[in-house]
């Protein structure tokens, strides 16, 4: 698999402040375990109805479809991801949401433009946390 889902943080205290399911999602996603990362957020998402979590779940699901070389599935999941994350600010829960949205658009276009070679032309976005992107009032922090 070409360079996939690494994740990093600029502050260990930020990681400690994140809800357990999100930390687990990031760890699994960073290990390119996209299906497992998707599953890690499911229960928390059902509990709190977080559209942000749903967006991350859909994004990870797009990479499951990438592993299966399913162009339709990738595009569909990225469209759903964009719809879920549309209302969120550029930064949320320490993640760069603007970068994630831009990546979804770029991958979706690459898949459309290169029907025969897209799986080798796209990779999952490395997710990184930054204290500067944590607002502190995110509802998911209340878990």
Instruction: Convert the pLDDT of each residue in 15-59 to its tens digit.
Output: 677 889 998 999 999 999 999 999 999 999 999 999 999 999 999
| CATH code for the structural domain at 7-142 | 1.10.3450.10
Q: Domain ranges in the chain?
A: 7-142
Structure pTM? 0.89
Residue 79 tokens, joined: 């469209």
b/e for 94-107, b at 16 or more Cβ within 10 A?
bbbbebbbebbeeb
């Amino acid at each position: 698999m070409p360079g996939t889902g690494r994740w990093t943080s600029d502050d260990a205290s930020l990681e400690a402040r994140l809800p357990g399911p999100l930390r687990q999602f990031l760890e699994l996603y960073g290990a390119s375990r996209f299906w497992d990362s998707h599953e890690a957020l499911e229960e928390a998402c059902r509990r709190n109805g977080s559209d942000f979590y749903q967006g991350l779940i859909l994004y990870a699901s797009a990479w499951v479809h990438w592993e299966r070389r399913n162009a339709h599935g990738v595009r569909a999941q990225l469209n759903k991801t964009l719809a879920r994350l549309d209302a969120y600010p550029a930064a949320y829960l320490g993640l760069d949401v603007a970068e994630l949205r831009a990546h979804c658009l770029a991958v979706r276009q690459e898949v459309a433009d290169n029907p025969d070679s897209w799986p080798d032309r796209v990779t999952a976005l490395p997710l990184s946390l930054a204290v500067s992107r944590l607002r502190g009032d995110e509802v998911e922090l209340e878990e």
